[in-house]
Every structure is written in C-alpha cells, then in structure tokens.
Amino acid sequence: MAAHMRRCLLATTQIHLSQVRYRRPNIQKPRPSTRERRLFEAITQPILLPELQQQQSVKVKQTHPGKHEQPGTYEKFLIRQCKKMFEDHNMVIVCQPLPMSENEKREIRNRFREAGMDLLHYSNKLMRPAVMDTRLTNLFPFLICHNLFIVGEDSQLAAMVKITRRVPQLHILGGVVDNYILSKEALIRYSKLPPLDVTRGQLVTLLNMGATKTHSLLGNHQEKLSRNLEQYIKDQQEKDNNS
C-alpha cells in the first residue's frame, strides 16, 4: 500500500488543454416599432419655433481671463517692427506659402535678395494689431493663416511677379504698392505697365504734340503769305525790267 502511494505521488501531472472557439456576440438590429407607436411618437414630438431653433444652435464660448491680456513689452516691440516694415518699404506683398522645407525657403529668399528684395515672416497675431486703425486696415482679408511678405524699397513689381511665377510654393494674395492697397489681379496689371520715367516721357510727348500742331497751324498761314508776297515782288520786278 505504501509503495502504491509512493508511485502515485511521484507520477507526473498531465495538463489537459481544451480548445474553445471564439464566437462574436449576437447583436441584432432593433426591430421596427409598430405603426401605432410610430404615430404616437410623431404626434407627441415637440414643435419648436425657428427662433428657438436658432437660439439652441448658438454655442456660447467660454472666456478665459488670461487669454485677452494686453500685449507685453516684447510683443509691442515686434508690432513696432511690423509698422516700420510698411514705413520703410514702398512695396509689401502678402503671400500664402505652401508647405516647404527650410532649404527651399532659403533658396527662395536668396532669389529675392539677388533682385533687390527680401522675404520676411511676421506672425498675423502681430500684423493685425500693426495695421489696425491705420490706412492699411483693408489688409485684414489678406492676413489669414500663415503669411510671408515680399518687401522692397522700390516698386519692383515686374521682377517680383517674374520670380513668383517660377516659385510654385508662393501664391500672391495682395499688397501695398506706393501707398495703394492692390489685389492680385491689380498687381499683375500694374506690373505690365512701363516704368514711371517712360510713362512721364510719353505724357510729356503727348502734351507737346498739341502745342506743336497748334504752332504749326498758326505759322503755316504766315509762311504761305510771306512766300506769296515774295513771289509777287519778283514778278513785279521782272515786269519792270522787261518794260
């Protein structure tokens, strides 16, 4: 008996594994309600006036006391730099950039610098206070999302449009040229005009054409009369000599 107990204790235990198949839960769609219940729900549904619906759709934004604080000293300094940018440059073009790497942005900036311009970046949080309550207030529609600014001391619109056409990462929105706010279409039309000196020369030529023509018309009669008198004197002298 003791030997039998010893053999039972020394025998190794066997682990029995049972395989269980996974079953998805049986989720059934709700059955459609009866016709009487649908009629009851349609009749008892509340009817809201349009005014009440509009009031319910309005979402009230929670204001946080720390969000609308006055700009700090450093932000005021940056705002003054934005204002100085408009004062020091006769041409400020607002562009909408597409995603680009820093190397691409550096290459684009170098192109503008070679042409006598520059590509600057200021946050719209600083640009909006800079143009607020000034003659440049109408620039607000252009200051959206993330903007880059093409600046130049002279109005080099032709060179600027030529470079931006070769740079697909920049899209012109508008800008300020010679203290005038222009849209993209107006900037392109303005860039096709001849230089200011050439336009002034053409204007002076047109103004002088009227005076020159008037002088020629007034002097034509006098010259014709003097030629006729000279010919008459010659004819009289020839008659006297023949007689």
Each residue's pLDDT tens digit, 170-227: 999 999 998 889 888 989 888 888 877 888 888 888 888 877 777 777 777 777 778 8
Query: What are the DSSP calls for 138-177, one per residue?
Result: GGGGG--SS-EEEEESS--HHHHHHHHHT-TTEEEEEEEE
pLDDT tens by residue, 90-107: 899 999 988 888 899 999
List, in order, residues 6 or more apart from 137 with CB less than 8 Å away.
131
Question: In this predicted structure, which of 13-22, 139-148, 190-199 has the lowest mean pLDDT?
Answer: 13-22
**Whole-angstrom Cα distance, residue 164 to residue 44?**
64
More confident of the two residues 56 and 207:
207
Backbone φ/ψ region at 15: left (φ over 0), alpha (ψ -120 to 50), beta: beta
User: CB-based burial of residue 78 (10 Å sphere; 0-12 exposed, 13-18 middle, 19+ buried)?
Assistant: middle
Residue 36 identity: E
Question: Is residue 116 within 8 Å of 90, Cβ to Cβ?
Answer: no
Chain centre to alpha carbon of residue 86: 17
Task: Give the pLDDT band (50/70/90) at residue 60.
Answer: very low
